[in-house]
A and B are shown apart, each in its own frame.
Chain A
Amino acid sequence: MIFAVISGFILAALVPLFSSFARNLIPKIYPFLPLGIFIYLGTCFSQVTQNAPMHWSYNWVPSFGVNLDFRLDGLALLFGMLITGIGTLVFFYSSYYLKEDKYLDRFYGYLSMFMAAMLGLVLSDNLISLFVFWELTSISSFFLIGYKNDDPSSRKSALMALGITGFGGLVLLAGLIWIGFVGGSYSIIELVNSSELIKSHEAYPWIIGLLFIGAFTKSAQFPFHFWLPGAMKAPTPVSTYLHSATMVKAGIYLLARFTPVLGGTDSWNWTLILVGGITMLYAAAHSLFRTDLKSILAYSTISALGILVFLLGVGTEDALLAAGIFILTHALYKATLFLITGIIDHETGTREVTSLGGLQKVMKPVALAGYLAALSSAGVPLFLGFISKEIMYESTFHFSNWAIILTASIVLTKVFLFVAGFWVGIKPFTGNLPQEHAKAKMPSPLLWIPPVFLAGLCVLFGVFPGILDAFMQTVFNSMSPEGEVIHLALWHGLNWVLVLSLLTLGLGFALYKFLKPSQSLKGKLAPFDKFAPIELMERIGITFQSFAGSWTGFFQNGYLRNYVISILIFLTVLAGYRLYDGVDIHLDWSQISDITPSEFLVVVLMVTSIFFALITKTRTGVIVALGIIGLANCLFFLYYSAPDLAMTQFSIDTLTVLLFMLVLFQLPKNRSFSTRKLRVRDGALSLMFGVLISILALEVFEAPSYTEVSEYYAENAYLLAKGKNVVNVILVDFRGIDTLVETVVLVIAAMGVFSLLKLNLNPFNKE
């Protein structure tokens, strides 16, 4: 199994190697990858449908409990077969659809990577490895949306999609770790057992909140839905595969997967009902205002995802079953519709539904696929769509007090989707064939066989739903472990649900006859655009960007003195607070020895030069004054019998002065930058800092101290180190390394001086 998942990544990584010599072979070879995995999954089919999930486990980062634990149960198998099955068709389809493309090899690389990631996602039983694959699907989607990278809107859409799903992904990560933290395991199957523990934990609302954001962003739920229409910039096979059939269902998968762990509470159910409900209605209504085939499909896909979230929210056994079947139904008919859209675009060069018609005259099989898919989407009897719709209505119809509202909203959604499906699947093929498209011709079989095949499945499963029984039973059991035995049938008896079903068809057909897609209809939506989430999000983005500018500019304002001031303020406040908070300040002057005249002199020298440095107007003056302070320090060292130290200090000080001079000469002439007020502020700050450090120094001086080390030096300097001057011995023996390294510092500084003096790559000279 690990090979099945990893092979996609390996093939993706091999693309750059192949592309130099076998670039044309890639589209011919790579489609066999999903096909092979599909067949492999097929061999697992009988075992999984007997309710015996299969396991594979590979250690990865066991120290954090991250392992590749693959578990193939009904839900995983359903998704796995969709991923590889539709994947196979899309891989073949693309090899012709993008035949002319220069970078087709890359395209297959990304597509293989995506497929592998998606497969890993649905197979993972481990939360963290699930997340790893989750993010990989986002990133491959980024590359695929931005595949036509010359187009600015493609790039923008790719960024937006990555922004939304990437953000959701990171939030999800926090949620997943939190689940693992509370539940004590990263294995989903083990977490089912601690379901009650998690649900009663105080963090439960946070956990599901984070999880929801992850799922909603990925599955394009309101108000995060807007990246999906943008993602339609990707080539149509990509839209078919990622943004309709598989990747966008990852969020649904996640919610379904976690239903046995986290589901069944009011906050779980009602959030999903609300968000799913809004999304399905909002998007279904929106799809009627579009004229671009792919836009219509994008919004109807969002709506379908909304339905799925809604059903998971309803959460009854019927609803979960309906969700399971609808995942399959939707994938089949929506992929068909996308693929025929691609064909239409490929052959006529347009996707404007208003300018299309009568294409059945030139491409019969494609038209047939379109009709079948549209009918399945509408939920006409004898199509799979009918069966899923029946169970959907069944579930809402029996849902407590809210049955009427919930049923009404789903019926309404279904009516809108009826129209959307007909617009894409039927309208372009019926009516008169416009002149400009008369030359359109039948495409290669590589293009038309995949949609026809999928449409055929819609009918096959619709007429004989019984063949899905065993499969759907295991899918259902993944979401509801103790679920009842199900049986799918065409005929559910004469009841209200059937009436509603017929009503949907009637209303839908009436609306289709009455409402024609048109540009003016699209225009009617324009006034509301500024309230659309995409607008809000863009405005937030712009505000945030300008906030970034002002924040950065405020702190990094270019003035060294401001930086120094900020740092000093920070330290003064921090240390001052801690001093005030934790130290009793008492100064005992009696401990301090008398001041000798020479010390006094040196201090006077220092203080004078400090004031000179403050007052003088020239840079040179300041540097010289500071140099004097350094030299005065040398004198201190001399008084305390440390001539070596004094020598070192002397050389370092001289060098530093020189270095500074050289660097400063390159800078513009000194001007007076500060006003009187600023100087007072700076002075006060310096004073405060100085006082603080002085108090601290005195306190430390008075604190009792260990003298073990200094006594050791005093005792052993002569006996063991053979030196009479303790300070010297410390410098050259006890702590000789320090001295050695400081010498190196001198050497380096000398090199600096040398290069500054000699090498001058003037900005105006060429380097």
Chain B
Amino acid sequence: MNNSWIVLPILFQLVSAVVLLLTWGNIKIQKIVSILLSAIGLGIGIWLFLLIYNHGIQVTQSGNWPAPFGITFVADTFGSTMVLLASIAGFSVSIFAAGSMSRARLRFGFFPLLHFLIMGLQGAFLTGDIFNLYVWFEVIIISSFVLITIGGKKAQLEGAIKYVALNLLASIFFLIGIAFLYGLTGSLNMADLATKVQEIDNKGLINVTASLFLVAFGIKSAVFPLYFWLPASYHTPPAAVGAIFGGLLTKVGVYAMVRTFTLIFAGDVFLSLILSVMAALTILSGALGAMYHRHLGKIFGYLIICHIGFMMAGVGMMTELAIVGTVFYLVHDIIVKTNLFMVSGLILKINGTQDIKELGGMYKSKPLLSLLMAIPLFSLVGIPPLSGFWAKLFFIKGGLESKEYFLIAFIILGSFLTLWVIAKVWSEVFWKDAVNLPKKSKGIFFHELSSTGKWVLVLPVIFLSIISLYIGFGAEHIVSLSQRIASELMNPASYIETVLSQKTIEP
């Protein structure tokens, strides 16, 4: 169905960013405006999701040039779900940032950048054009790069260099891949590519191109052995930036991987095998890294890698059942990881450190906050019936179905080590008595804040925790949503047909 309103999430974020640029330097107004606009953005996300959920896939051709000649925007269930999740994360982070970021950083355009970043994500989720996807990736990279560097601290810059260098490398591979695809098919429209790639005889070249995409998206989604940028950079920026990164940046790589490998490069068995092996080692590397480190930001960073491995395992199995698992996990992970980085920011705000050896005594001093923080922590572990649990059912059953037993073993190992790491964090940070809390903080301590200031920090955590609880207890809704998405992904005929149906241009 044709509906040009589906680009609204993108446009709205663009307008928001511009509005915020106009109020440059006026932090008070920016805070309020950003939160307000994010709330409206969330509303738009909900609207789009419901629209697609009730009326099916919607398409618009930019400039009214028929596909595959112009740039197509497509909102299918997968895309609109991702848009909604990004809006939720954006909304929470906007509030959290208003409470936690230092004035200096806010003065230099944090809020417009946040909205530019969200715009990039929304664009990536809604575009139906492979080169346009690349362009959205550029927006994401550049805005996240600037977000990392705002403040210009030495550690930040060091992390930023690695971040941007490796991500640009990924972009180059992506671009080369696009060039090859264009050379082979003469098209950039993903639906069109899907049909044309199937018709090409020279499968060898397509397969090589697919490996370029694998590496490009593999870097973005931080898969073994390509994940280096993530541990190097995620713990350096302030918590609000970490939250949006942890929640969404790697996931957009997973999204792109799932999208291209189900639509364009479907049925490549060798690729699935490589992905499975990479997934297993990703799980291992992430879990080991999380075990090794004692800085909360680094621990959570490595856990992101570990859980990216879960999602990749689903992609590697490439059965509909496994993709259900991947999609479910994606939904869970975006919410919970955003929340975790905010939690780690909150812990820093309260105690002045993020080193678990120094931290302690939170359960005694802040019992209710501790219980609140337990929700994302144990959701992440996947203590049933919390949100991290359900996807594993699909991964294990999917692994049995495709007889990839080693992946099941690694998923169990990864889950176990996650459990272990989080239990250790709980024991060290919440149970143990504080060892060596700094007397002076670099910023303002939590207890020095006004009660509004406190609530601004706590509310987004509560908000996301409630969503996590909903994903866990109302798992049926998310499972049926994921099943619908997986079924659409594995049978892309209707996607392709909807995009390409409108061949002639109306004057």
Are B475's CB and A60's CB within 8 A?
A: yes
A residues less than 8 Å from B184 (CB atoms): 700, 703, 705
**B204 and A131 form a contact (CB under 8 A):** no
Q: Is B142 a contact partner of A752 (Cβ separation < 8 A)? A: yes
B468-487 vs A, Cβ < 8 Å mask (1 yes, 0 no):
00000001100110010000
* B392 located at the interface, meaning its Cβ lies under 8 Å from any Cβ of chain A in the complex: yes
Which residues from B are CB-within-8-Å of A174? 396, 408, 412
CB–CB A761/B104 < 8 A: yes
**Could you list 28 examples of A-B contacts with CB < 8 Å?**
A60-B476, A61-B475, A63-B479, A63-B483, A64-B479, A146-B431, A170-B419, A181-B400, A548-B292, A551-B284, A552-B292, A556-B231, A563-B232, A567-B215, A570-B226, A574-B215, A664-B161, A700-B205, A703-B202, A708-B186, A716-B69, A734-B63, A734-B65, A741-B135, A744-B139, A748-B143, A755-B150, A767-B442
Q: Of all chain A residues, which has the CB nearest B203?
A: A582
Q: Is B109's CB under 8 angstroms from A159's CB?
A: no
Q: For residue A767, which residues in chain B have a CB less than 8 angstroms away from its CB?
A: 102, 104, 151, 442-443
Nearest opposing residue in chain A for B116, CB measure: A748
B residues 129-174 with Cβ under 8 Å of A? 131-132, 135-136, 138-139, 142-143, 145-146, 149-155, 157-158, 160-162, 165-166, 169, 173
Nearest chain B residue, comparing its CB with the CB of A655? B142
B111 to chain A, nearest CB (A): 11
In the assembly, what is the distance between CA of A696 and CA of B176, in Å? 10
| Residues of chain A within 8 A of B207, CB atoms compared | 578, 582
B293 contact set on A, CB distance < 8 A: 552
Roughly how many angstroms separate A535 CA and B171 CA in the complex, as a whole number? 50
Please give, as numbers and ranges, the residues of chain B lying within 8 Å of A177 by CB-CB distance. 393, 396-397, 400
The reply to whether A574 and B214 contact each other, CB–CB distance below 8 Å, is yes
> Which residues of chain B are near A700, meaning CB under 8 Å?
179-180, 183-184, 205
Q: How many residues of B contact A (CB 8 A)?
A: 122
- Answer whether residue A675 sits at the interface, using C-beta atoms and an 8 A cutoff: no
Is B460's beta carbon under 8 Å from chain A?
Answer: no
Residue numbers in B under 8 Å from A716 (CB-CB):
69
B288 within 8 A of A: yes
- Cβ of A547 within 8 Å of any chain B Cβ, yes or no, is yes
**Bound complex: CA A131 to CA B385 (Å):** 10
CA distance A376 to B263 in the complex (A): 69
Q: Across the interface, which residues of A come within 8 angstroms of B132, CB to CB?
A: 735, 737-738, 741
| Complex Cα–Cα for A663 and B184 (A) | 39
A736 & B63 in contact (Cβ 8 Å cutoff): yes
What is the bound-complex CA distance between A564 and B310, given in angstroms? Answer: 25
Chain A 325-342: CB-based contact to B (< 8 A → 1; otherwise 0): 000000000000000000
Whether A438 sits at the interface, judged by CB under 8 Å, is no
Given contacts A139-B383, A759-B108, A173 and B392 within 8 Å (CB-CB): yes
* B153–A761 CB distance below 8 A: yes
- Tell me the B354-403 residues at the A interface (CB within 8 Å): 363, 367-368, 371, 378, 383-385, 389-390, 392-394, 396-397, 400-401
Looking across the interface, which residue of chain B has its beta carbon closest to that of A566?
B225
In B394-431, the 8 Å CB interface with A consists of 394, 396-397, 400-401, 408, 412, 415-416, 419-420, 423-424, 427, 430-431
Chain B residue contacts of A703, Cβ below 8 A = 183-184, 200, 202, 205
Minimal beta-carbon separation of B501 from chain A (angstroms): 16
Contact with B along A122-157 (1 / 0, CB 8 A): 000000100110011001001000100110100100
Tell me, yes or no, whether B219 is within 8 Å of chain A by CB: yes
Question: Contacts A159-B427, A579-B208, A741-B136; is A735 near B291 (CB within 8 Å)?
Answer: no
Residue from B173, B203, B393 within 8 A of A64 (CB atoms): B393
Cα-based distance from A558 to B158 in the complex (angstroms): 10
Contact call A132/B385, Cβ cutoff below 8 A: yes
Q: Are B285 and A759 in contact (CB under 8 A)?
A: no
Instruction: Tell me the nearest residue of chain A to B161, going by C-beta.
Output: A663
Task: Find residues 236-269 in chain B having any chain A CB closer than 8 Å to their own CB.
Answer: none
Contact status A666-B157, CB under 8 Å:
yes
A710 within 8 A of B: yes
Q: Which residues of B contact A733 (CB under 8 A)?
A: 63, 65
Closest 3 CB pairs of A and B: A582-B204, A583-B204, A752-B146
Partner pick for A761 among B152, B188, B394, CB 8 A cutoff: B152
B289 within 8 Å of A by Cβ?
A: yes
**Can you name the residue of chain B whose Cβ is closest to the Cβ of A582?**
B204
Kindly list chain B residues whose C-beta atoms are within 8 Å of the C-beta of A66: 393, 475
In contact, B476 and A63 (Cβ under 8 angstroms):
yes
Interface presence of A713 (CB below 8 A): yes
Check if A574 sits within 8 Å of B161, measured CB to CB.
Answer: no
- Choose among B150, B225, B226, B396 the residue that contacts A759 (Cβ–Cβ < 8 A): B150
Known A-B contacts A560-B162, A696-B180, A759-B108; A710 and B186 likewise in contact (beta carbons under 8 Å) = yes
Q: Least Cβ distance of B70 to chain A in Å?
A: 6
Interface of A is mostly: helix
| B109 close to A555 (CB less than 8 A) | no
Determine the distance from Cα of A759 to Cα of B479 in the docked complex, in whole angstroms: 46
The distance in angstroms between the C-alpha atoms of A579 and B203, with both chains bound, is: 10
B384 proximity list for chain A (CB < 8 A): 131-132, 135-136
Show the binding face of B for A, using Cβ within 8 Å: 14, 62-63, 65, 68-71, 102, 104-105, 107-109, 112-113, 116, 119, 123, 131-132, 135-136, 138-139, 142-143, 145-146, 149-155, 157-158, 160-162, 165-166, 169, 173, 176, 179-180, 183-188, 196, 200, 202-205, 207-208, 211-212, 214-215, 219, 224-226, 228-229, 231-232, 270, 274, 284-285, 288-289, 291-293, 302, 363, 367-368, 371, 378, 383-385, 389-390, 392-394, 396-397, 400-401, 408, 412, 415-416, 419-420, 423-424, 427, 430-433, 442-443, 475-476, 479-480, 483, 505
Q: Is the CB of A555 within 8 A of B225?
A: yes
Which residues of A have CB within 8 Å of B383? Answer: 135-136, 139
In the complex, how many angstroms separate the beta carbon of A712 from the nearest chain B beta carbon?
5
Which residue of the partner chain A has the closest CB to B71? Answer: A737
Known A-B contacts A64-B394, A555-B285; A758 and B108 likewise in contact (beta carbons under 8 Å): yes
Let me know if A571 and B215 touch, CB within 8 A. yes
> Given A663-B161, A703-B183, A766-B442: A167 and B416 within 8 A (CB)?
yes
Taking a contact as CB atoms under 8 Å apart, the answer to whether A763 and B153 are in contact is: yes
Given A556-B232, A705-B186, A720-B505, does the pair A548, B146 have CB atoms closer than 8 Å? no
Complex alpha-carbon distance, A150 and B435, angstroms? 12
Do A563 and B479 touch (CB < 8 A)? no
With known contacts A706-B186, A748-B116, A16–B371 Cβ distance under 8 A: yes
Contacts A716-B69, A741-B132, A748-B113 given; 6 further ones with Cβ under 8 A? A63-B479, A66-B475, A733-B65, A734-B70, A735-B70, A752-B149
Q: Do the beta carbons of A663 and B479 come within 8 Å of each other?
A: no
- Shortest distance from the beta carbon of B15 to any chain A beta carbon, whole Å: 12
Decide if B138 touches A742 in the complex (CB within 8 Å): yes
In the bound complex, CA of A705 to CA of B202 (Å): 11
Which residues on the A side are within 8 Å of B107 (C-beta)? 759
- With A170-B415, A759-B151 given, is the CB distance from A667 to B161 under 8 Å? yes
Residue among B62, B212, B393 facing the most chain A CB atoms (10 A cut-off): B393
Would A563 and B419 be within 8 Å (CB), given that A159-B424, A761-B104 are in contact? no
Residue of A nearest to B119 (CB): A744
Which residues of A have CB within 8 Å of B397? Answer: 177, 180-181
B360 to chain A, nearest CB (A): 10
In the docked arrangement, what's the CA distance between A149 and B149, Å?
40
Interface string of A658-671 (1 = CB under 8 A from B): 00000110110000
Q: Which residues 576-590 of A have a CB within 8 angstroms of B?
A: 578-579, 581-584
Distance between Cα atoms of A709 and B225 in the complex (Å):
37
Residue from A578, A708, A736, A756 within 8 A of B62 (CB atoms): A736
CA distance A559 to B319 in the complex (A): 38
Taking a contact as CB atoms under 8 Å apart, the answer to whether A166 and B211 are in contact is no
CB–CB A742/B135 < 8 A? yes
| Other-chain contact of B291, A545, A666, A701 (Cβ < 8 Å) | A545
Q: Which of B152, B211, B415 contacts A574 (CB 8 A)?
A: B211
Check if A502 is an interface residue, CB within 8 A of chain B.
no
CB of B434 to closest CB in A, whole Å: 11
| Residues in A whose Cβ lies below 8 Å from that of B432 | 149, 152, 155
